[in-house]
Amino acid sequence: MTSTSVREAREALIRTHFESETAQDFDVTLATMSHPRYEIVPTGEVFDGPEEVMAYYHRSREAFPDQRHDNVRLRHADDAVIAEFDLLGTHLGELYGIPPTGRAFRCPMVAFFLFDGPEGDRIICERVYFDIATIATQLGIIPGPIGTGPVGAGS
């Protein structure tokens, strides 16, 4: 089992990671990782190494310059911190050839911040899971669901 001090240090590191991403202070974000690597599960993309990860940061922030996190909740495992959060942003730049819509999104996400073993002190991979259709629908890129509104919104 991971010690309390390791858990506390990891939690502080993850919060620094989130805060520096929002502030677009990507050198600080990269410093939270011993080997920068992102796996974006819904798109199948992998960004491995500092150059690829930095290019990912810049591309995503050109499309969503106000990208940020809300409602961050953390859970600990021996070799990971699992974060549940809402990702928010406004589509103000081109992404994958899609022109900006000017619309905002809020999407629930889960990210696994993986560490090198139970005593690892820096991130070796961030693996992100989300429903891409949630974002695409809110941005008006694909039609929304048939019905009167979001699931659970009532009538």
Give the model confidence (pLDDT) of 50-89 as tens digits: 999 999 999 999 999 999 999 999 999 999 999 999 999 9
CA–CA gap between residue 84 and residue 53 (Å, rounded): 21
User: Is 78 contained in some domain?
Assistant: yes
Indicate the DSSP class of residue 117: S
CATH code for the domain of 66 = 3.10.450.50
> CB neighbours of 27 closer than 8 A, spacing ≥ 6?
none
| pTM score, whole prediction | 0.89
Q: How many domains does the chain have?
A: 1
Q: Cβ distance 39 to 127 under 8 Å?
A: yes
DSSP H or E run through 125:
strand 123-130
155 pLDDT more than 80: no
149 pLDDT more than 60: no
User: Is 146 contained in some domain?
Assistant: no
User: Is 40 contained in some domain?
Assistant: yes
CA–CA gap between residue 68 and residue 89 (Å, rounded): 6
Its domain, for residue 92, covers 4-138
Helix, coil or strand: residue 33:
strand
User: Is 36 contained in some domain?
Assistant: yes
User: Is 64 contained in some domain?
Assistant: yes
User: Is 153 contained in some domain?
Assistant: no
